[in-house]
Amino acid sequence: MAEQREYRTTVEFGEGAAPRSYTIWIRPGLLDAAGPLLAEACPAHRYALVADSQVAPLYGQRLLAALAAAGLSASLFKFPAGEWNKSRESWGDPTRCSGPVSDATARSSLSAAA
């Protein structure tokens, strides 16, 4: 069996009094193992998954299922694809973001909202 490697790097940005950073993980199977990693890195009562209309159908339900399997509650919000839509203003505008598209609960059930 081939060895599975994990790659991790930290991205730093911002200057002055408020520099920020975040960690990027890359490894096979990471999407299905996201629940425990998210719970450890960013504990919360509920999570919002924000994805565009091209990415949400590919990975949204799978990620919701992974979070539910870890006992995490989450909703998937979908916004139109396109660089011009990738802003906090777009995500916060209820007329541009359909959602929640789907929810996952701590009981590992999935339900779709119309």
Give the tens place of pLDDT for each residue, 88-99.
776 666 555 555
Average pLDDT over residues 2-18: 77
C-alpha span between 39 and 22 (Å, rounded): 15
Round to whole Å and give the CA distance between 58 and 95: 23
Q: What is the mean pLDDT of the chain?
A: 78
Residue 42 has pLDDT above 60, yes or no: yes
pLDDT band, residue 20 (cuts 50/70/90)? confident
pLDDT at 57: 95
**Of 46 and 112, the one with more pLDDT:** 46
113 within 8 A of 101, measured Cβ to Cβ: yes
Say which residue, 96 or 57, is predicted with more confidence.
57
Instruction: Give the C-alpha separation, 99 to 114, whole Å.
Output: 9
pLDDT at 58 over 50: yes
The tokens describing 93, both together, are: 């505008």
- Each as own residue / partner, the long-range contacts of residues 34-42 (CB below 8 Å, 24 or more positions apart, any chain) are 34/63, 34/66, 34/67, 34/70, 35/66, 35/67, 35/68, 35/69, 35/70, 35/71, 35/72, 36/70, 38/67, 38/70, 38/72, 39/70, 39/71, 39/72
